[in-house]
Amino acid sequence: MASSTHDKTPAYYVPESSRLPIAMAFTLFLLAWGGAGVLQNVSGIQQNSSGVWILSVGLVMFAATLTVWFTKAAREHMAGLNSEQLQESYRQCMKWFIVSEAMFFAAFFGGLFYVRAFELPWMAGEGAKAATGMLYEGFEYTWPLLTNPVPEAVPGPQEAMHWTIPLINTTLLITSSVTLTFAHHALRKEHRASLKNWLLATIVLAVVFLGFQAYEYYEAYAHLGLTLDSGIYGSTFFILTGFHGVHVIMGTIILIALYFRVLKGHFTGPDHFGFEAGAWYWHFVDVIWILLFFVVYIF
């Protein structure tokens, strides 16, 4: 029964009420509604003039609500409300969130694998469903795919993306994971100055990575004819590198937020879940990139 107390386990902090969830739910509504309107408008499906306003309000509210929510969570923790058990909940929550993120990317990797291992060879008249090739006379399977099965309908890119910039980017990201680990070790040993420097170095590396990535996209569109609408090579290239890039941007924002928290004196050697979660996220983004580097650029 509820009355039989168990002294060793401290009470679990359950906030009495909160306005944050409804604010966030409404924000997501604005983002979805406005986002759909903007997409309709931009792609010329339908005129939609209100979408851009709704989306803008949604984005502002999104940033505000997330900031308030995380600030509140951090304050609660520093006020000593979070028992060891609650902190364990946060840790597990973050781990499962990363699992779900991995599965999001798995859909894109899986799509690329299916197209390259089965679909395109079949369309080129090879393999178990070689009869498919009859529909696409003269189509040959090469990867990167520069000549699409029906080039008159979907013209392919002129050139494939070269691997030099991505190799630099791989080096940058791996280095950033190392510097972040140095920062983590410095935090454990309470070397605050060293922590700040390594964290700053990680942020710089992240921003340089994003710069190179932006340059690569510019090259793809301006000189290689490699665009979203240039067939399956461009589609898979942009969806994988694009969503990775979005995750790097989110990771960088997290790192910057962590940097400011460090400046304010947050986190201690034994107690720094916020930092740890950010680091996990960053390493995850790094691992995705390494996979992506081999699958998208090399093989």
Partner 1 sequence: MTAIPHDDHAHHGPATGLWRWVVTTNHKDIGAMYLWFSFAMFLLGGAFAMVIRAELFQPGFSLVEPEFFNQMTTMHGLIMVFGAVMPAFVGLANYMIPLMIGAPDMALPRLNNLSFWILPFAFLILVSTLFMAGGGPNFGWTFYAPLSTTYGPPSTVFFILAMHIMGASSIMGAINIIVTIWNMRAPGMTWMKMPLFVWTWLITAFLLIMVMPVLAGLITMMLLDITAQTSFFNAAGGGSPLLFQHLFWFFGHPEVYIMILPAFGIISAIIPAFARKPLFGYASMVYATAAIAILSFFVWAHHMFTVGMPFAAQLFFMISTMIIAVPTGVKVFNWVATMIGGSMTFEVPMLFAIAFVVLFTIGGFSGLMLAIAPVDYQYHDTYFVVAHFHYVLVPGAVFSIMAGVYYWLPKWTGHMFHEGLAKVHFWMSFIGVNVAFFPQHFLGLAGMPRRIPDYPLQFANFNMISSMGAFLFGLSQLLFMFIVIKCVMGGKKAEAKPWEGAEGLEWDLPSPLPYHTFETPPKIK
- Binders in 78-117 for partner 1, by CB under 8 A: 78-79, 81, 85-86, 88-90, 92-93, 96-97, 99-108, 110-111, 114-115
Report the 10 Å Cβ neighbour count for 149: 23
Check residue 21 for interaction with partner 1 (CB under 8 A): yes
Pick 38 or 258: Cβ nearer partner 1: 38
CB of 91 to partner 1, least distance (A): 9
Amino acid occupying residue 225: G
Pick 11 or 298: Cβ nearer partner 1: 11
**Which residue among 137, 211, 220, 231 contacts partner 1 (CB under 8 A)?**
231
**Which residue among 5, 137, 193, 298 contacts partner 1 (CB under 8 A)?**
5
For 102, residues 6+ apart whose C-beta sits below 8 A from its C-beta are 284, 288
Check residue 250 for interaction with partner 1 (CB under 8 A): no
CB of 184 to partner 1, least distance (A): 23
**Which listed range, 41-49, 183-191, 255-263, 272-280, lies at the site for partner 1 (CB under 8 A)?**
41-49
DSSP letter assigned to residue 154: S
Amino acid occupying residue 211: G
CB of 106 to partner 1, least distance (A): 7
CA nearest 232: which of 153, 290, 286?
A: 153
CB of 40 to partner 1, least distance (A): 6
d(CA 274, CA 261) in angstroms, rounded, equals 9
Check residue 28 for interaction with partner 1 (CB under 8 A): yes
Check residue 33 for interaction with partner 1 (CB under 8 A): yes
d(CA 37, CA 48) in angstroms, rounded, equals 6
Residue 51 near residue 34 (C-beta atoms within 8 A):
yes
**Which residue among 16, 260, 265, 298 contacts partner 1 (CB under 8 A)?**
16
Pick 104 or 215: Cβ nearer partner 1: 104
Which value, to the nearest 10 degrees, does the dihedral of the CA atoms of residues 35, 37, 42, 46 take?
160
Check residue 280 for interaction with partner 1 (CB under 8 A): no
Pick 119 or 276: Cβ nearer partner 1: 119
CA nearest 299: which of 112, 122, 141, 143?
A: 143
Check residue 49 for interaction with partner 1 (CB under 8 A): no
Using CA atoms, how far residue 19 sits from 24, 26, 105, in Å, is 9, 11, 32
Check residue 15 for interaction with partner 1 (CB under 8 A): yes
Structure tokens of 288? Answer: 């995705």
DSSP letter assigned to residue 81: -
